[in-house]
Structure 1
Amino acid sequence: METTNGSLNRKLRMALVGGGQGSFIGRVHATAAVLDNRAALVAGALSSNPERAKASAPAYDIAESRAYTSYQEMIDKEKSLPVDQRIDFVSVATPNHTHFEIAKAAADAGFNVICDKPMTFDFAQAEELVKSVEKSGVVFAVSHNYTGNPLVRQAREMIQGGELGEIQAIRANYIQGWLRTAIEAEDQKQAAWRTDPSKSGAAGAFGDIGTHAYNLGRYITGLIPEEISCNLKTFVEGRKLDDYGHAVIRYSNGALGTVTASQISHGRENDAFIEVDGTEGSLQWRQEEPNVMIVRKNGSPHQMYTRDPNAPFMNEMGAAACRLPAGHPEGFFEAFANVYRFAYDAMVARAAGESFETKDTIYPNVYDGAEGMYFIQQCVASSADNGAWLPMKYENARS
């Protein structure tokens, strides 16, 4: 008889940091985490404002006794509970500048972590967090959620299995238009912290969405970057961080890649898309139409792959990321849930005292998060030096 989380035979207990009233991504985490009925949200520190933290708890069905007023209080009190009651993992859904302290405190206390991206405020924090995770042995996932789309995983297996031949070019883009005007000056919550260097870090659009585009290229192709040249630009007058940028990447196998990120393109909503060119074929996938992937080969009809877990053309990794039959669209929440789903497998293994993979995981991990912070650091430095070529190979990167 199949049981919940295998040998664990129970749901994992989740705590959420962030996600209070007015939050977007906190509610996404809470929804994705429980989609497969493998976890339950039982505790939270939902806001840095103690009153708002308490007031937000009923919307998540968190009991008053476990609605904490700070993440420090939450970690201390949860750690003091009996093993069969305390939380198993902490989800961090707060602005960038708070990720490090929360994630490190959770890891140091022995709690598994799922952290929003970018993982930390800067690369130095990321390196320190890697050390904490390695020392504690916790499971650590980063919510680069687009890696959870079934056809992204299908593409990954096809490319790394050689179906497109040698990869020569990657074009990864993330185009939005919501910051075309200075809505941060009108106290729009999401815009305010994302355009504030003290909360968002050294990059604006490139930190917020450029990291997604970069990660998508790395995840799908597995190619190792060697050098990067970047130009960042702030087009909206008075804005303190970039709202548009373009980077060129040289990969170790000789391939070239580009990353373009914009938050000022009229009419563009959430258009993350990637194109990969190989010697034997090319591939295209778009986040706004996630259930379709196009594969092209000269002299042959274009192939349109649709998400179908029972189709013979789906590989094992692509099919494993599906939940619904063909023709029933899966999208943002399901992809986000796949980051959780496969991190849960590692959490269950850890709870059972079994070994689990930490670097070359199907879900984005702490090393991917650190590489994303290195990407931001090098892009900002390159742009400040008129697009100078800078090293991009991160020593702890997945192979």
Structure 2
Amino acid sequence: MSKIKLGILGGGEDSLIGILHRVAANMFDQFEITGGVFDVSHEKSLNFGKKLQLDPGRIYKDLDDLVAKEAALPEDERMQVVSVLTPNFLHFPMAKKLLENGFNVICEKPLTTTYEEAKILNKLQKEKNTVFAVTYTYTGYPMIRQMKTMIANGEIGKIQKVDVQYYQGWINPLIHDKEKRGATWRLDPEKSGISCCIGDIGTHAFNMAEFVTGIEVREILSDLNYLYEDNPMDIDGTVLLRFSEKVKGVLRASQIATGEENSFTVQIYGDKGGLKWEQENPNYLYLLTEGKPMQVLKPGHEYNSEFSLEGTKLPPGHPEGIFDSMGNIYYGVAMVIKDKSKFKGAYPQLNDGMRGMQFIEKTVASHKNGNVWTKMED
């Protein structure tokens, strides 16, 4: 079958996330990047498109220009899916416009800047029956998929403790300088939404907790840290999680964990055993059981699940990383665009992004209301 035609919004020359998405899109030979809007400056966008050896006629001035001109093309030449890699405040209007015009969408997280916006997208996506993926990138790691399968198969028994932690230190050099923290878009509510730390990385941890366990958080209690009175955005936080009366958890997220790079850890404990995974060493899944030595599972081996092996591209002993993880999400999108019966958990859906937005808002509300338990909606 011919490759799926992919457009990209944002992710220009200086964008790390742009590189990640472009590599992921090319990984399984399922997509062909045909054009897009890479920068607010059309000239910069054209220059970048030239470097990618794209048709200048498919490098558009803005989203309206893209939608109008792509719609005028024969159906077999149009972009079939568009990736939204812009700052948070642009996710909603761009995704809404794309859905209204029948495009499939791949969107960076957080999905929107408010839960209400997320619900609008969810309703529209169902009406249009399009494919919509939210790039909670880490769900694509083979050993995370192995963890999910083992938990679903009851290999660690009934879950009784969930512990997810995501620590970075990148804001530490900025937050203590008033001028620098005022110039960072992540700390600007107009561009980032109501939350920085929870909205940026805490939502990854929340999604992961629900993804691997297969159960939803019912209530949360949060304590956030803003550090300075003139800083409107959280940069650190601890959130207690209640999945049910008997299943409890904790989510810790920080962007002022000095010296930390991208320390995302997932620990799930059942009554028969536990599983541990670290994003900075993603090819090792640790299985803990009472009275036995710790086991280390690695990708590519036949003992892994079909779900894990489907996302494994290299033989055992060859490390797979974040590009591969994002690549697995793009591959899942491609398979479902071609045949919607092939979903099987292949990528995080719009509903996952909507849950993430609800979590952000409930976390901020719990803190501002005096660190109280706050119910999540079904």
Please report the TM-score for the alignment, with normalisation by the length of structure 2.
0.96
Deviation at 1:188, TM superposition (A): 9.4
1:12 is matched with which residue?
Answer: 4
Indicate yes or no: 2:364 matched with 1:374: no
2:242 is matched with which residue?
Answer: 250
1:319 is matched with which residue?
Answer: 309
Partner of 2:184: helix, strand, or coil? Answer: helix
Deviation at 1:253, TM superposition (A): 5.9
Partner of 1:291: helix, strand, or coil? Answer: strand
Select which of 293, 298, 316 maps to 1:301.
293
Output the CA distance in 2 between the equivalents of 1:187 and 1:64: 37
Output the CA distance in 2 between the equivalents of 1:188 and 1:56: 29
Contact 1:54 / 1:69 at 8 angstroms: preserved in 2?
Answer: no
Unaligned runs of 5+ in 2: none
Q: How many residues align?
A: 377
2:30 is matched with which residue?
Answer: 38
Root mean square deviation, CA, Å: 1.8
Q: Which amino acid aligns with 2:293?
A: P
Query: CA 1:188–1:246 in structure 2 vs 1: closer, same or farther (change >3 Å)?
Result: closer
Unaligned runs of 5+ in 1: 1-8, 395-399
1:5 is matched with which residue?
Answer: none
Pairwise mapping of residues 80-99 of structure 1 onto structure 2 (< 5 A)?
A: 80-99=72-91
Select which of 206, 219, 222 maps to 2:211.
219
Deviation at 1:107, TM superposition (A): 1.2
2:367 is matched with which residue?
Answer: 383
Pairwise mapping of residues 1-399 of structure 1 onto structure 2 (< 5 A)?
A: 9-182=1-174, 192-235=184-227, 238-252=230-244, 254-308=246-300, 311-349=301-339, 357=343, 361-394=345-378
Deviation at 1:160, TM superposition (A): 1.0
Output the CA distance in 1 between the equivalents of 2:48 and 2:200: 25
Output the CA distance in 1 between the equivalents of 2:250 and 2:63: 38
Output the CA distance in 2 between the equivalents of 1:185 and 1:341: 43
Contact 1:185 / 1:192 at 8 angstroms: preserved in 2?
Answer: no
Partner of 1:225: helix, strand, or coil? Answer: coil
Q: 1:14-43 CA deviation, whole Å, 9 max, x = no partner?
A: 000001232121221111111111101001
Output the CA distance in 1 between the equivalents of 2:315 and 2:345: 26
Deviation at 1:48, TM superposition (A): 2.2
Contact 2:181 / 2:187 at 8 angstroms: preserved in 1?
Answer: no
Contact 1:223 / 1:252 at 8 angstroms: preserved in 2?
Answer: no
Deviation at 1:238, TM superposition (A): 4.2
Deviation at 1:362, TM superposition (A): 2.8
Output the CA distance in 2 between the equivalents of 1:194 and 1:42: 30
1:4 is matched with which residue?
Answer: none
Q: Which amino acid aligns with 1:366?
A: L
